[in-house]
């Protein structure tokens, strides 16, 4: 940024009307150019001094210190706005990636599942098997669940999976799992504190 551009922006800086890009260039320039800083100082003293006289300001009028504080405050605000914008940008991109992964997983489960999916529970069952296959490999699914007969329904497969791969809990807790007595496909879990 050139000196004549900065000198045209002095009033906008004092009135806090510069965009973030303009403010960044302005602050960087006045930090490195003593002539422009002196011009800003004079303009600041005149503008703020007249405003304080109009308001019958009775406090100290150390305008040089006030200008340094104002510049420091503008630097901090600019930094915080840039940081917030970067976080928002990251959050948007992370959200898009997460949604794409979820969509790809759901699509894969619906398209390549060996079971017919008619209900939400059917989808949950197929998703559990698909997720297990993703983490441990397709061979692990057929080995670990191979003793389940072909005639059994998918719910019993989920029951088997939940019985043999319990939930990981913090130290001092365990989960006792057992099938319900009525022969249903639900699992009763009881939290036990050691």
Map residue 173 onto helix, strand or coil: strand
Contacts of 105-113 with CB under 8 Å at 24 or more apart are 105/130, 105/131
What's residue 138's pLDDT? 61
Q: Is the pTM value of this prediction over 0.85?
A: no
Angle of the 63-112 helix axis to the 120-136 helix axis, nearest 10: 100
Q: What is the DSSP letter of 100?
A: H
List alpha helices for 113-147, DSSP H. 120-136, 138-144
Residue-wise pLDDT tens digits, 85-101: 999 999 999 999 999 98
Residue-wise pLDDT tens digits, 92-138: 999 999 999 888 888 877 777 766 777 777 777 777 777 777 776 66
Give the side-chain half-sphere CA count within 13 A for 181: 0
């Amino acid at each position: 940024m050139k000196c004549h551009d900065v000198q045209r922006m002095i009033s906008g800086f004092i009135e806090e009307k510069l965009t973030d890009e303009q403010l960044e260039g302005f602050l960087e320039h006045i930090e490195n150019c003593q002539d422009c800083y002196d011009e800003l100082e004079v303009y600041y003293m005149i503008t703020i001094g007249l405003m304080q006289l109009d308001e019958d300001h009775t406090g100290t009028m150390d305008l040089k210190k006030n200008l340094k504080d104002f510049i420091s405050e503008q630097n901090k605000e600019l930094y915080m706005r840039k940081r917030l914008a970067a976080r928002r940008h990251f959050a948007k991109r992370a959200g898009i990636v997460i949604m794409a992964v979820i969509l790809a997983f759901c699509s894969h489960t619906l398209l390549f599942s060996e079971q017919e999916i008619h209900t939400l529970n059917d989808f949950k069952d197929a998703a559990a098997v698909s997720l297990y296959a993703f983490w441990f490999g397709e061979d692990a699914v057929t080995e670990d669940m191979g003793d389940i007969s072909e005639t059994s329904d998918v719910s019993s497969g989920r029951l088997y999976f939940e019985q043999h791969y319990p939930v990981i809990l913090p130290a001092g807790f365990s989960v006792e799992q057992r099938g319900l007595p009525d022969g249903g496909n639900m699992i009763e879990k009881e939290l036990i504190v050691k």
